[in-house]
Chains A and B, each alone.
Chain A
């Protein structure tokens, strides 16, 4: 009898954010569904009450079904036989429970069987599921594909596929191939139009496909013969019932073992075009990726929460030298920093989600009517915020999830290394988070432009201009000084060449991230004092982290690059 939503007041707190009213109003577009659907809300309060109640349902399933199944699912994993995948029994149970609760299609419009929830509760559900089982979170999270279909496909395709999501059909997004990982422009899977059958046919191989045997697939394929770059790629939807796709094998992975990762063979597999030809990668996949990165942010926060709770529980229970180990400064520092990283990750997760919520709602409205100039401006503003914050969220929260899983084992000592405790699973599950949907290194590439063009600085100044209670004056003063230091560091890298900036990019992005996340915690602490401690711990730590980065950059001369780049000339020695 556990409820992962009810036992965590930090989640409900998100629904009280001042932007929630605006978000709900935009999403419900004058509450036009009220009266048309008996479960549609009449006003903001009613909608948020529904969010709260549905999160309770999901929280209960996470606590009572998913979390108790996690260990066995990790042990059993899925099975591949005769070209098909069978989930572990627990995975199937998890999926069935969530399907029976009618919570798939959380963010889809009601006309397609969805609940029309805004992104905040959608992301929260992903966080809840991830805390219970980070591997299962992928199967749950792939309903993101429905979002892409909804945004870009024709009405006919929407009507064919979207209502199936709420009924329990799962999805996969088939992008990567043996020679196209981070570099998706190299995708080779071929799409050919058959004039006679009036259908596209897919041929080729996909690799590392999460939930590869799903009923509904979105496939990136080369539709333009003779092209070699991203502009020759289109996006297709495929229905498992049409046949032509078999699973060659599934991967044996370090973590998230319950989620099947498949190698697929497409042999004359029929498919339908989503949106326009040639926009597959440059428009649709990019949009899907942003959603997926938000998803990994939620997955990271959920896993951090699980790691923190396990560590805290153990630190109270474990007695050494006649006292619980939490009483030792070395242990309580670990726990306090874990909590600060967790809460800072969550703060930027929901801040980013609110930005996404607002611009997506404007996009949806713009399909029905022309936006007013003010609305267009708002849409642009929040869309930019979302673009700025998404890579920072993805990188920081996934790195923190790994650090928290590492520290959770450390708190457990030798026991944490054993299979008897769940922390070793969390540690393995966390490892993929900084890798898939764009590595931390690629998030830095996406974020650095906002360092150099001053966008992060401008956003930091916005936070700085907010009103804070007098007891937070000292922390704010620190952040003002850290901002000046960050500005200085940004100036220092200018004019020393692109390679020099790329070399320091991660440090600069992290400096900005630390300042932003400190502000977010202090802002939360204005409303709810329970954030005060983490705000203090995180800001103080951030100050030290930024000092280290600033002094490294200040002392780093362009010629120092050589000591690092020389590694390019080294090779692994082979036996004679």
Chain B
């Protein structure tokens, strides 16, 4: 049975850290964003493919992209439209700036609440921060279940979704009630290419900010072609506490940045017992990974 689903894909515009030149880092040890091209975070692209696949299986479903970033992050929404998404929202506001994962997930969860989707898909992690925290934090803030490391959405019904997960030593198939949040792994199917007709249809898609920018001169006016308008939301649109947004809502402070070489590559298996967690924390404190 097919169902008309509302699907949100969380996507991030990131510097392309896969092809780094010698100017990739600033002397201060932060990423030199100007030297790297801004791209659609690769695992978010895998998430988009899963969303479009669900839509293929359930005609009439709607895929919306949600991204937070500066004005130019509208590129992310356009990229999604070119590949088959139906629309998107750009969260942009000075108050969002300087957000760590906590403040980011707060902003995203506020927007998701407003959209009220059946399922949320996101990449496992972004290639600039590699935290893999934002997806799970959004799920926690929304109070919905989450499935991480998804490789394939196998089945989706009115009430639940069946997912194959990629784990360290194999795969696991789980099912989860809807609504839920799924983070998608790089081993999932690559995203389909841009579709010629979608590209031609949406090439002039833009935010109002872009439309009214100085020197902007678009062929098709937004008033006559409403599908070309990319929604922009600020803090006022999504509500919530100002103190939880941006710099103010970000407890993370970077103390210093060091170049490190990984000593070990294997994973370590821990149980969920307090004992195991305590011993891990002690170990991480001892080798100064945290603290």
Name A residues whose Cβ lies closer than 8 Å to a Cβ of B.
1, 38-43, 46, 49-50, 53-54, 57, 60-61, 97, 100-103, 115
For A39, what are the chain B residues with a Cβ–Cβ distance below 8 Å?
196-198, 200-201
Say if the beta carbon of B226 comes within 8 Å of chain A.
no
B249 → chain A closest CB, angstroms:
36
Given known contacts A42-B220, A50-B203, A53-B203, A1 and B19 CB-to-CB distance under 8 angstroms: yes
For A101, what are the chain B residues with a Cβ–Cβ distance below 8 Å?
192-196
Name B residues whose Cβ lies closer than 8 Å to a Cβ of A.
19, 192-201, 203, 219-220, 227
For B19, what are the chain A residues with a Cβ–Cβ distance below 8 Å?
1
Q: Are B203 and A102 in contact (CB under 8 A)?
A: no
Q: Are B192 and A100 in contact (CB under 8 A)?
A: yes
Given known contacts A42-B219, A42-B220, A101-B194, A57 and B199 CB-to-CB distance under 8 angstroms: yes
Interface centre among B19, B194, B203 (most CB of A within 10 A): B194
Given known contacts A1-B19, A42-B219, A46-B219, A53 and B193 CB-to-CB distance under 8 angstroms: no
B203's nearest neighbour on chain A, judged by CB, is A53
A105's nearest neighbour on chain B, judged by CB, is B196
Docked CA distance A104–B197 (Å) = 11
A40's nearest neighbour on chain B, judged by CB, is B200
Docked CA distance A49–B202 (Å) = 13
A97's nearest neighbour on chain B, judged by CB, is B193
For A57, what are the chain B residues with a Cβ–Cβ distance below 8 Å?
193-194, 196, 199
Q: Which of B192, B200, B201, B219 contacts A54 (CB 8 A)?
A: B200
Docked CA distance A154–B195 (Å) = 30
Q: Are B201 and A60 in contact (CB under 8 A)?
A: no
Docked CA distance A40–B201 (Å) = 8
Q: Are B199 and A53 in contact (CB under 8 A)?
A: yes
A54's nearest neighbour on chain B, judged by CB, is B196
Docked CA distance A53–B192 (Å) = 16
B19's nearest neighbour on chain A, judged by CB, is A1
A58's nearest neighbour on chain B, judged by CB, is B196
With contacts A54-B196, A60-B193 known, what are 12 further pairs, Cβ within 8 A? A39-B200, A40-B200, A42-B219, A46-B219, A54-B199, A57-B196, A57-B199, A97-B193, A101-B192, A101-B194, A102-B198, A115-B200
Docked CA distance A39–B201 (Å) = 4
For A42, what are the chain B residues with a Cβ–Cβ distance below 8 Å?
219-220
Interface centre among A1, A46, A97, A101 (most CB of B within 10 A): A101
Interface centre among A38, A41, A60, A103 (most CB of B within 10 A): A38
Docked CA distance A313–B199 (Å) = 34
B219 → chain A closest CB, angstroms:
6
For A54, what are the chain B residues with a Cβ–Cβ distance below 8 Å?
196, 199-200
Docked CA distance A41–B195 (Å) = 16
Q: Are B201 and A38 in contact (CB under 8 A)?
A: yes
A302 → chain B closest CB, angstroms:
19
Docked CA distance A41–B220 (Å) = 11
Please list 30 pairs of residues, one from A and one from B, whose beta carbons are closer than 8 Å in the complex, sorted by A's number. Answer: A1-B19, A38-B201, A38-B227, A39-B196, A39-B201, A42-B219, A42-B220, A43-B219, A50-B203, A53-B203, A54-B196, A54-B199, A54-B200, A57-B193, A57-B194, A57-B196, A57-B199, A60-B193, A60-B194, A61-B193, A97-B193, A100-B192, A100-B193, A100-B195, A101-B193, A101-B195, A101-B196, A102-B195, A102-B197, A115-B200
Docked CA distance A39–B195 (Å) = 11
Interface centre among B200, B201, B219 (most CB of A within 10 A): B200
For A53, what are the chain B residues with a Cβ–Cβ distance below 8 Å?
199-200, 203
Docked CA distance A38–B195 (Å) = 14
Q: Are A115 and B197 in contact (CB under 8 A)?
A: yes
A60's nearest neighbour on chain B, judged by CB, is B193
Q: Are A102 and B220 in contact (CB under 8 A)?
A: no
B155 → chain A closest CB, angstroms:
22
Docked CA distance A100–B84 (Å) = 10
Docked CA distance A41–B199 (Å) = 12
Docked CA distance A102–B193 (Å) = 9
For B227, what are the chain A residues with a Cβ–Cβ distance below 8 Å?
38
For A38, what are the chain B residues with a Cβ–Cβ distance below 8 Å?
201, 227
Docked CA distance A97–B196 (Å) = 12
For A97, what are the chain B residues with a Cβ–Cβ distance below 8 Å?
193
A27 → chain B closest CB, angstroms:
15
Docked CA distance A245–B19 (Å) = 51
B195 → chain A closest CB, angstroms:
4
Q: Are B196 and A102 in contact (CB under 8 A)?
A: yes
Q: Are A103 and B196 in contact (CB under 8 A)?
A: yes
B90 → chain A closest CB, angstroms:
21
Docked CA distance A115–B192 (Å) = 19
B224 → chain A closest CB, angstroms:
10
Docked CA distance A54–B199 (Å) = 8
For B197, what are the chain A residues with a Cβ–Cβ distance below 8 Å?
39, 102, 115
**4 nearest CB pairs, A to B:** A39-B200, A101-B193, A102-B196, A102-B195
Docked CA distance A50–B198 (Å) = 11
Q: Are A115 and B193 in contact (CB under 8 A)?
A: no
A136 → chain B closest CB, angstroms:
16
For A40, what are the chain B residues with a Cβ–Cβ distance below 8 Å?
200
Docked CA distance A1–B16 (Å) = 12
Docked CA distance A97–B189 (Å) = 13
B38 → chain A closest CB, angstroms:
14
B225's nearest neighbour on chain A, judged by CB, is A38
Docked CA distance A53–B194 (Å) = 10
Q: Are B196 and A49 in contact (CB under 8 A)?
A: no
For A103, what are the chain B residues with a Cβ–Cβ distance below 8 Å?
196
Docked CA distance A53–B205 (Å) = 14
A1's nearest neighbour on chain B, judged by CB, is B19
Docked CA distance A57–B196 (Å) = 7
Docked CA distance A1–B42 (Å) = 12
For B199, what are the chain A residues with a Cβ–Cβ distance below 8 Å?
50, 53-54, 57
Docked CA distance A102–B198 (Å) = 9
Docked CA distance A87–B238 (Å) = 52
For B220, what are the chain A residues with a Cβ–Cβ distance below 8 Å?
42
A41's nearest neighbour on chain B, judged by CB, is B200
B16's nearest neighbour on chain A, judged by CB, is A1
A100's nearest neighbour on chain B, judged by CB, is B192
Docked CA distance A100–B53 (Å) = 12
Docked CA distance A94–B196 (Å) = 16
B136 → chain A closest CB, angstroms:
29
For B193, what are the chain A residues with a Cβ–Cβ distance below 8 Å?
57, 60-61, 97, 100-101
Interface centre among B19, B199, B220 (most CB of A within 10 A): B199
